[in-house]
Amino acid sequence: MENQELVLLAKKAMEKAYAPYSKFKVGAALLAKNGDIFLGCNVENASYGATICAERTAITKAISEGVKEFEKIAIVASSGDYAAPCGICRQVLFEFLPEGEVILDSDSEGIKVMKLKELLPMGFRGEDIK
- Strand-pair partners of 73: 30, 102
Domain around 55: 3-122
For position 129, what pLDDT does the model report?
Answer: 65
Total domains, the chain: 1
Instruction: Please report whether residue 20 resides in a domain.
Output: yes
Please indicate if the annotation marks 42 as binding a ligand.
yes
| Active site residue ranges | 55
Contact yes or no for 27/14 (Cβ under 8 A): yes
Please indicate if the annotation marks 28 as binding a ligand.
no
Contact yes or no for 7/105 (Cβ under 8 A): yes
Residue 74 CB partners (closer than 8 Å, separation 6+): 3, 6, 7, 9, 10, 28, 29, 103, 104, 105
Q: What is the pLDDT along the chain (130 residues), one digit of tens a residue?
A: 899 999 999 999 999 999 999 999 999 999 999 999 999 999 999 999 999 999 999 999 999 999 999 999 999 999 999 999 999 999 999 999 999 999 999 999 999 999 999 999 988 887 766 6
Instruction: CATH number of the domain at 58, please.
Output: 3.40.140.10
Please indicate if the annotation marks 48 as binding a ligand.
yes
Instruction: Please report whether residue 127 resides in a domain.
Output: no
